[in-house]
Amino acid sequence: MADEILRDEGDITERGVERVTEDPSAPLVDLTAEIAERELEGPGLEPEQEVLTINVGPHHPATHGVLRLIVTLQGERVIELKPVMGYLHTGIEKSCEDKSYWKVIPFVERMDYLSYFFQMEAFCGCVERLVELEIPPRAQYLRVLHMELDRIMSHLVWLGTTALDIGAISMLWYCFRERDTILDLFEMSAGQRMHTRYFQVGGVFEDIPAGFERKVRDFLALMPSRIDQYEALLDRNEIFLHRTRAVGIVPRERLLELGVTGPLLRAAGEPWDLRKSPGYLSYGDFDFKIPVGTVGDGYDRYRVRLQEMRESLRIIEQVLDGLPEGPWIADDRKYVLPPRDELSTSMEALIHHFKLVTEGYRVPPGELYYPIESPRGELGCFVLADGSSKPARVHFRDPSFVNLQSLRDMSVGGLIADLIQNLGMLDPIIGGVDR
Amino acid sequence: MPDPPGLELIAQGIEEGRQGTVIETSMEHGRATLIVNPDGILHALTWLRDTPEQGYRFLSSLHAADYLPATPRFAVHYELLSRERIERVNVKALLVDPAAGDETNGADPVEKLPELDSCVALYPTADFQEREAYDFFGIVFRGHPDLRRIAMPEDYVGWPQRRDFPIGGEPVLFTHNEIEAPRWFE
């Protein structure tokens, strides 16, 4: 029996001095002696007393990517947990330093591969503020439109995969059906289903095509009834309630200490949403609510996300109703490509086009941190400009990366099955964690 | 954001507790920055967090940057947030590269790394982010409970996000060049 135990010696020695309870004020408990003693006794113990260290992942469907969790179990109880990441690290931030600003956009989209519009907005918004470029109102509305569609899309993927983890297999098909509708919309407006590179510094790449608005309205008419169907399947589902109710509760203060943002924090009862902060795109023009939970268990997290989808639908409807006419990209030739038709008639336009495509624009020296509200929480982009046409540093504060720290607080003391539920409800995107 | 007088008041308040902590203040693109002495970083953060009328109790991001060829070369940024007033302030600790002007030209087996006090006790959220800064820039956070590489492999040599670290310097193994690296699986 003892031979079968997978041990990670390095972790056993390091484990000793950390917190074992969820209460942050609790004193640190030294478990080293106890664990060593138990392991010495080994086979003599009852199976449920034995301490077992196992790997969850890196390749496991329930880890939603390539995340490795070193879990120490006593029976079925999790007594220690350590996330190990980096399996998907691709050095995007480093690669960005070698690309001119407009070529960075496709790179940053691929970090968190479900919220690409948000990554683009974080980066483009940051550069726009560095060069002090105002974007036209129509561009702001189009950005909000696409970001909110993206938020629904991201939540749909989350709902499908997490419900699948918990055992509701049919949810995956229903959620991906609606997700496909949204991807069709993206394809129509931006030409690509994922990683669209639709946002540009100064606005958006193209105006929405004719017929796009009608398609979005069709979707708006359809989606609320679909959300009703999801709720009918899950809200009072016996298994779902047993798996999510009162599981993974972390006090609100502890979540704030851990820097957790987004639906996880809102589910714990904290109405914190950056969309309501002043001066962030044109969100001030729209009427929407911030859904909050009460206890912050898995069920609240689920309810908050579903309600967020409804609020996003309301925002999209208001965007379409109030979509201003006018240009969709700023008219600053130093940063924005001239219109195609001018190239054959205007020498100036040709020169600008040539300069922008070959060297790219230069951004005056400076640095800025620009946070936005992504489907998973605060997504911040830090750009350091050194005066050349390439950024000296691009850093993303990814919400999945920071939120992942709370997994330990959620899971220690619970069952291993709840660990999978907690990880699902946390909704980490490993592309964003590892970058 | 605090307005410029507010930023000066913050700087003054930090200075009163410990002389020589705040080196400079700046307002750039509406972002308030306090440039602090690395020795006083914990004092500045504690003051900002615990002074009742400040209340910057949320650390939204901690990240490092390399300002080569400037001196001091490195900076660690703390993006603090007061959620009551939705105000952000950036605390920037400038770090001198101890390996700069090294006569031994890297022959010394012990690599000299910039050091800074860890703020995990003040802001537990900094745990992963300090590990990230260590992993990519080689900035050592004194007092961090578990300072290991986080994204790069544990046995990796070098600090990849530094400006003098080349891009694409690492051979990548594909099936077509597998033959050039005999017994790569060992």
Contact B95, B74 (CB under 8 A): yes
Q: Is A197 on the interface with B (CB under 8 A)?
A: no
A181/A152 Cα distance (integer angstroms): 11
How many residues would you count in chain A? 435
- Which pair of structure tokens corresponds to residue A170? 């049919």
Q: Is A95 on the interface with B (CB under 8 A)?
A: yes
What is the reported pLDDT for B64? 92
Quickly state the pLDDT bin for A402 (edges 50, 70, 90). very high
Among residues A400, A367, A432, A124, which one has the least CA distance to residue B65? A367
Contact B84, B104 (CB under 8 A): no
Among residues A267, A272, A255, which one has the least CA distance to residue A300? A267
pLDDT tens digits along A236-268? 888 888 888 888 888 888 899 898 998 999 999
What is the reported pLDDT for B104? 57
Q: Is A350 on the interface with B (CB under 8 A)?
A: no
Contact B87, B1 (CB under 8 A): yes
- Which pair of structure tokens corresponds to residue B157? 């040599």
Rg of chain A over CA atoms, in angstroms? 24
Please enumerate in sequence order all residues whose Cβ is within 8 A of that of B87, keeping only pairs 6 or more positions apart, or say none.
B1, B2, B56, B81
Contact A329, A154 (CB under 8 A): no
B132 pLDDT more than 50: yes
Q: Is A432 on the interface with B (CB under 8 A)?
A: no
- CA geometry: angle B77, A260, A59, nearest 5 deg: 100
- Which pair of structure tokens corresponds to residue B141? 């956070």
B152 pLDDT more than 90: no
- Which pair of structure tokens corresponds to residue B180? 């050039």
> What distance lies between CA A393 and its chain's CA centroid?
21
Contact A285, A322 (CB under 8 A): yes
pLDDT tens digits along A208-222? 899 999 999 999 999
A395/A384 Cα distance (integer angstroms): 9
Q: What are B81's strand-pairing partners?
A: B58, B88
Among residues A425, A386, A383, A426, which one has the least CA distance to residue A404? A426
What residue ranges do the domains of chain A occupy? Answer: 2-84, 92-403
B33/B30 Cα distance (integer angstroms): 10
CB contact under 8 A, A401 and B128: yes
Cα A8 to Cα A12, A33, A54, A71, A327: the distances in Å are: 7, 16, 9, 10, 60
B90 contacts in A (CB within 8 Å)? 369
B108 pLDDT more than 70: no
Question: Which of A104, A127, A405 should one mutate to test binding to chain B, selecting the residue with the greatest count of B CBs within 10 A?
Answer: A405
B143/B145 Cα distance (integer angstroms): 6
B155/A46 Cα distance (integer angstroms): 38
Q: Which domains does chain B have, with CATH numbers?
A: 4-180 (3.30.460.80)
Can you give the pTM of this predicted structure? 0.85
Q: Which CATH architecture has domain A92-403?
A: Orthogonal Bundle (1.10)
Please enumerate in sequence order all residues whose Cβ is within 8 A of that of A221, keeping only pairs 6 or more positions apart, or say none.
none
B126 contacts in A (CB within 8 Å)? 259
Q: What mean pLDDT do residues A195-213 have?
A: 89
